[in-house]
């Protein structure tokens, strides 16, 4: 572990201790303890100020202390790819380089088309875990067939240990609940199908 520490300490001027040549007020025993501290803490640099005297201790040469900046290569933008569910064993796909194969070739020809919904839908505004009720022993917020009003709580999505209430964006009748309780959801995933009221 390499690091840098900065310390400030008032030296005891009444000790009559030996001082380093050219450094009035800096005790050699303190300097030795600082060097031992640097070694024990695996520090590469230590700044200290004592009675107005600033000292910087640095391990290694000046080229080691400040390495030259390294340029990082630019990354190509990542495109989301649909995930196909396969019922049987999966065969290994032939290896291709990302630069040689266009993105369209990476999409399977038999990928399912987006599902058309009969009415309006409520989508997840975030990635997280879907919960139908506020606690495992409580009844669900809503069930299929319930009529909901705009602003009514429909479910919870847990994201980063925070429970987020998902409210109805419009009034309507819930025709289908698309996610099982306790299952993960993705951003923009359909949670509920509604029938317009």
Domain ranges of the chain: 4-62, 121-196
SS3 content of the chain, % helix, strand, coil (to 5): 10, 30, 60
Task: Give me the tens of pLDDT residue by residue for the chain, a chain 197 residues long.
Answer: 444 444 444 444 444 444 444 555 567 787 788 788 878 877 788 777 766 777 777 877 555 545 555 555 555 555 555 555 545 455 555 554 444 445 444 445 554 555 666 778 999 999 999 999 999 999 999 999 999 999 999 999 999 999 999 999 999 999 999 999 999 999 999 999 998 87
Find where tokens 């009514």 sit: 152
Angle (CA) 63 64 65, round 5° = 95
Q: How many residues does the chain have?
A: 197
The predicted structure's pLDDT at residue 71: 56
* Alpha carbons 195 and 177: distance in angstroms, whole number: 12
CATH 2.40.50.100 assigned to domain 121-196? The reply is yes
Angle (CA) 118 175 163, round 5° = 110
């Amino acid at each position: 572990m390499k690091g840098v520490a900065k310390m400030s300490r008032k030296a005891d001027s009444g000790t009559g201790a030996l001082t380093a040549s050219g450094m009035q007020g800096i005790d050699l025993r303190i300097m030795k303890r600082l060097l031992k501290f640097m070694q024990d803490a695996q520090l590469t640099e230590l700044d200290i100020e004592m009675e107005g005297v600033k000292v910087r201790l640095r391990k290694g040469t000046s080229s080691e202390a400040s390495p030259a900046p390294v340029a990082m290569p630019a990354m190509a933008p990542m495109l989301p790819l649909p995930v196909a569910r396969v019922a049987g064993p999966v065969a290994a796909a032939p290896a291709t380089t990302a630069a040689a194969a266009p993105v369209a070739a990476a999409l399977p020809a038999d990928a399912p088309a987006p599902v058309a919904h009969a009415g309006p839908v409520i989508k997840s505004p975030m990635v997280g875990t879907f919960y139908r009720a506020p606690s495992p022993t409580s009844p669900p917020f809503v069930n299929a067939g319930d009529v909901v009003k705009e602003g009514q709580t429909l479910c919870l999505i847990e994201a980063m240990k925070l429970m987020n209430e998902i409210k109805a964006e419009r009034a309507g009748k819930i025709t289908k609940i698309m996610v099982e309780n306790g299952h993960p959801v993705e951003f923009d995933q359909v949670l509920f199908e509604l029938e317009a009221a």
